[in-house]
Amino acid sequence: MATIFGCEIPEDRYYYIERSQMTWVKVEDSRVTIGATDPAQARAGRILFLRVKPAGTVRERGRPIATVESGKWAGPIIAPIGGTISEVNTEAEKEPSLLNSDPYGRGWVARMTPSAPEELALLLSGEAALAKFREVIVRDQIHCDRNPP
């Protein structure tokens, strides 16, 4: 686990860092689990609303798989790779603040079956991901807090 200015970044997964998106992707057998990162939840503030597209929804890379709302931000969570949503975290839909308190665990958003696993190569990992996080965290002055206001 790397830590950048207080933001935790696990090193066992891939990252999609584009525009407002800072999403993690963890490969588990033939599926991937997707969620928001620590700096993403901190920047958004306390998350009040999460709606995920239903299981069975086919999404191309770059299309929304969920909508998130906090008191100061509303936006999509974008599919980092294309595929079919196979499971939705209904616990997090009922308790959206799980995205704040446990972004890499109980606050996961959706599981997908990738249609083109080679798209994982388009995501960042390792030192390249950490460098990009460092750039965004400094630029946006993000201070990670698992219990944001």
> Please, what is the Cα angle at 25 between 20 and 26, to 5 degrees?
160
Q: Which stretch binds other proteins (CB under 8 A): 35-43, 71-79, 102-110, 111-119?
A: 71-79
Residues with Cβ within 8 Å of 89's Cβ and at least 6 positions away in sequence, in order, are: 52, 98, 106, 107, 108, 109, 110
Nearer to other proteins, 8 or 119 (CB): 119
Helices (H), 1-144: 38-44, 90-94, 98-101, 126-139
Return the closest-CA partner of residue 99 out of 66, 129, 125: 66
What does the per-residue mask of binding to other proteins show for 11-50, with x meaning CB under 8 A? --------xx------------------------------
Q: Is 67 or 125 the residue whose CB approaches other proteins more closely?
A: 67
Shortest Å distance, C-beta 48 to other proteins? 11
Query: Is 99 a residue that touches other proteins (CB under 8 A)?
Result: no
d(CA 15, CA 74): 21
Rounded least distance, CB 57 to other proteins, Å: 11
d(CA 147, CA 149): 7
143 lines the binding site for other proteins (CB under 8 A)? no
Closer to other proteins by CB, 25 or 66: give it. Answer: 66
Q: Is 51 in the site for other proteins (CB under 8 A)?
A: yes
Stretch that binds other proteins, among 24-32, 57-65, 120-128, 130-138 (CB under 8 A): 57-65
User: How far, in Å, CA of 100 to CA of 114, rounded?
Assistant: 26
Contact residues: other proteins, CB under 8 A: 19-20, 51, 62-64, 67-69, 71-76, 78
